[in-house]
Amino acid sequence: MNTKVAVRKCRKYDLHEVFNLISEIYKVCEGPEASGKKILIKPNILIDSNPSKCISTHPVVVEAMIRYLQSKGAAVFVGDSPAVHLRGFKSEKSGIYQVCQKTGATWVDFAIDPYETTLKKGKIKIASIVREVDLIISLPKFKNHGLVYFTGAIKNTLGLVPGFTKAKQHALHYDRQRFSTFLVDLNEAVLPHFFLMDGIIGMEGPGPAQGIPINTEVLIGSTNPVAMDIIASTIAGYKPMDIPPNSISISRGLWLKDINEIIYDGPELQTIIRADFKRYPITGNENIVIKFLKDKLPILKKLERRPVFIHKNCTGCMECIKVCPANAIAMHHEKENWVVLNDKKCIRCFGCSEVCQNNAVEVRRKFFG
Ligand code: SF4
Ligand code: SF4
């Protein structure tokens, strides 16, 4: 497989500049022929939110990608399935739906008539548009993720799974290693053809939704998901093999057998690594003995990072409750805007912290309560 990764410095969301850089990156990475093709662009729209929060792919990056593909003669479709996905969803707060209207690209609702595909283990629903287009272009966002540490190309494919089927996957694959293995399996079944990561302003700290925007000033492109994620996580200051989807992909010899196979095109990597980027601490995967002890000694479970609800920030919107795959949270029966956690049921997927837009869910250790 093509192992090229191109990185270009980019300091602001200027449409003309981003368009030119995308043209260059696409050419360097030998992106697929777009002329006459039907192409789905899949941004990262974890939550429909204002671009200033940096939760989603910036609308200027989406627009520049649409315009680039249209200039090559492609018919462009755009869509994603957010964490809480109801039929008729349009990403208006992010500005991405308006970009579609402006450019003539077609917005697609992934919730309509998904089809079923087979993974290594089990089956999964996928948005029907995936079968109707010739190519998929994925636009991940440069940011941290509580469960897999860093979210990139491999993780962004999860948005092709519509609605609450996604949340169910957290319950089925309830720890870091299992969830990462599932993500790799999913990409083996449905692999986008080109990836462009929006790292102009990334998100450090408690991503993927409650982190802090940071000027990371890069656009990264590749046709190879793991090669892209290795370069992106390196720029974020991680050791790339600490990111489970990267190490699992490499151990399977999927899109890359060895990190040294990457053909890198861009500024000297050492000069763009963000040592100051606030990363998640790498805690590794638990062995079977620790898992057993945790089941037997609940006090040990308290040593883990877990969702902690900050009641004074809570608006009672219940988005966290809708997305929780383990039914581990509920509103307090008396207190207003007060979410109660059933710690025994919680599988630590951190979906609640992903969807909360009010900084009312922190992921940290809490020994009491
Ligand atoms: S914790 Fe956040 S998502 Fe949950 S109800 Fe409160 S504000 Fe809404
Ligand atoms: S409470 Fe939060 S972390 Fe726990 S299972 Fe539910 S969504 Fe996941």
- DSSP of 293-341: HHHH-HHHHTTS-EEEE-GGG-----HHHHH-TT--EEE-SSSTT-EEE
Ligand nearest to the CA of 307: 2
Query: Atom of ligand 2 at shortest distance to CA of 353?
Result: 2
Kindly give the distance from the C-alpha atom of residue 363 to the centroid of ligand 2, in angstroms, as a whole number: 10
* Residue 71 and residue 8 share a domain: yes
Question: How many CB atoms neighbour CB 37 within 10 A?
Answer: 17
* Residue 263 and residue 292 share a domain: no
Mean pLDDT score, 281-298: 63
pLDDT at 87: 87
Identify the H or E element spanning 70.
helix 59-71
* Residue 311 and residue 199 share a domain: no
**Considering the domain boundaries, does residue 369 fall inside one?**
no
Tens of pLDDT, residue by residue over 48-99, are: 999 999 999 999 999 999 999 999 999 999 999 998 888 899 999 999 999 9
pLDDT at 296: 61
**Considering the domain boundaries, does residue 353 fall inside one?**
yes
For the chain, the average pLDDT equals 92
Mean pLDDT score, 144-149: 91
Question: How many CB atoms neighbour CB 268 within 10 A?
Answer: 8
pLDDT at 165: 80
Mean pLDDT score, 340-346: 92
- Ligand 1 pocket by Cβ (under 6 Å): 309, 314-320, 339, 355-356, 358, 360-361
| CATH number of the structural domain spanning residue 30 | 3.40.50.11440
pLDDT at 159: 96
Confidence class for position 223, pLDDT limits 50, 70, 90: very high
| Structural domain ending residue among the three candidates 272, 299, 317 | 272
Alpha helices in 140-243 (DSSP H): 153-156, 165-172, 176-189, 225-235
Tens of pLDDT, residue by residue over 21-50, are: 999 999 999 999 999 999 999 999 999 999
* Residue 230 and residue 340 share a domain: no
Ligand 1 pocket: which of 308, 318, 337, 359 to mutate (most atoms within 8 A of CB):
318
Q: Token digits for 214? A: 């940071």
Distance CA 207, CA 145 (A): 5
pLDDT at 288: 54
**Considering the domain boundaries, does residue 165 fall inside one?**
yes
Query: Atom of ligand 2 at shortest distance to CA of 170?
Result: 8
**Considering the domain boundaries, does residue 131 fall inside one?**
yes
* Residue 28 and residue 77 share a domain: yes
Lowest mean pLDDT among 197-206, 291-300, 343-352: 291-300
Kindly give the distance from the C-alpha atom of residue 266 to the centroid of ligand 2, in angstroms, as a whole number: 39
Ligand nearest to the CA of 146: 2
Tens of pLDDT, residue by residue over 269-282, are: 999 999 999 999 99
The closest of 228, 239, 237, 233 to 264, measured between CA atoms, is: 228
Kindly give the distance from the C-alpha atom of residue 197 to the centroid of ligand 2, in angstroms, as a whole number: 28
Domain range for 223 is 4-272
Q: Pick 197 or 168 by higher pLDDT.
A: 197
* Residue 209 and residue 72 share a domain: yes
Q: Is the pLDDT of residue 369 over 60?
A: no
Number of domains observed in the structure of the chain: 2
pLDDT at 12: 97
- Ligand 2 pocket by Cβ (under 6 Å): 307, 324, 326, 328-329, 341, 346-352
| Residue nearest to ligand 2 atom 8, measured at CA | 349
Confidence class for position 297, pLDDT limits 50, 70, 90: low
Confidence class for position 166, pLDDT limits 50, 70, 90: confident
pLDDT at 168: 81
Q: Token digits for 50? A: 């204002």
Tens of pLDDT, residue by residue over 101-115, are: 999 999 999 999 999
Q: Is the pLDDT of residue 291 over 80?
A: no
pLDDT at 289: 60
* Residue 182 and residue 41 share a domain: yes
- How far, in Å, are 104, 179, 215, 302 from residue 281 at the CA level? 43, 18, 21, 17
Mean pLDDT score, 8-28: 98
